[in-house]
């Protein structure tokens, strides 16, 4: 399954539309004013299904992944000098990034790619393609991609 993650051009807070390959909106992401990033994920019907919350006052950025009110994982930026690294506590996954910080691969507990996140260059807004091996993991992969993008935005 392929998803296109595209930031809205005019928005006060982080707002994104996530499209499936056919062009239909699969998810909508709306930012909320808070200490750190707080992103609410809505399904195509406008129902709130998940939240991404950045923890405030941590040495390195840390994001909690919640579906409904239940925490399903955490993504933490690791201290590195050259290649971006994150520790991921979600689904038994691991995430690895490229030196350019544009491409990431999420591996499942068997070492197989669960999702591939690629940034599209030369776009007006942040745009990513997320390829997910199992469509049931689409929401989890989206939450990881949102956390990585939020961490990069905080740094810049």
Q: What is the pLDDT of residues 18-76, one digit of tens each?
A: 999 899 999 999 987 666 789 999 999 999 999 999 988 777 889 999 999 999 999 99
* Verdict on whether the full-model pTM lies above 0.75: yes
Q: What is the pLDDT of residue 35?
A: 66
The position carrying tokens 């195509």 is 44
Q: What is the pLDDT of residue 16?
A: 86
Residue 36 domain boundaries? 2-155
Mean pLDDT in residue range 84-113: 89
Mean pLDDT in residue range 92-107: 87
Sign of the alpha-carbon dihedral angle for 21, 42, 77, 13:
positive
Q: What is the mean pLDDT of the chain?
A: 87
pLDDT tops 60 at residue 122:
yes
Residue 128's CATH number: 2.40.160.200
Query: How far is residue 140's CA from residue 124's CA, in Å, rounded to a whole number?
Result: 26
Q: By the 8 A CB rule, do 104 and 116 touch? A: yes
Indicate the number of domains in the chain: 1
Query: How far is residue 115's CA from residue 134's CA, in Å, rounded to a whole number?
Result: 8
Mean pLDDT in residue range 71-86: 85
Q: What is the pLDDT of residue 13?
A: 60
């Amino acid at each position: 399954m392929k998803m296109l993650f595209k930031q809205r051009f005019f928005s006060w807070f982080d707002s994104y539309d996530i499209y499936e390959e056919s062009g239909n909106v699969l998810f909508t992401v709306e930012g909320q004013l808070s200490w750190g990033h707080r992103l609410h994920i809505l399904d195509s019907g406008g129902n709130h299904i998940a939240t991404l919350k950045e923890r405030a006052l941590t040495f390195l950025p840390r994001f909690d992944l919640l579906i409904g009110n239940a925490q399903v994982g955490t993504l933490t930026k690791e201290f590195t000098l050259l290649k971006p690294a994150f520790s991921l506590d979600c689904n038994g996954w691991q995430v690895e990034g490229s030196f350019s910080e544009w491409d990431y691969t999420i591996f499942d507990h068997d070492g197989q790619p669960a999702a591939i996140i690629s940034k599209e260059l030369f776009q007006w807004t942040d745009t990513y393609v997320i390829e997910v091996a199992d469509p049931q993991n689409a929401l989890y992969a989206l939450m990881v991609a949102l956390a990585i993008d939020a961490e990069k935005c905080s740094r810049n």
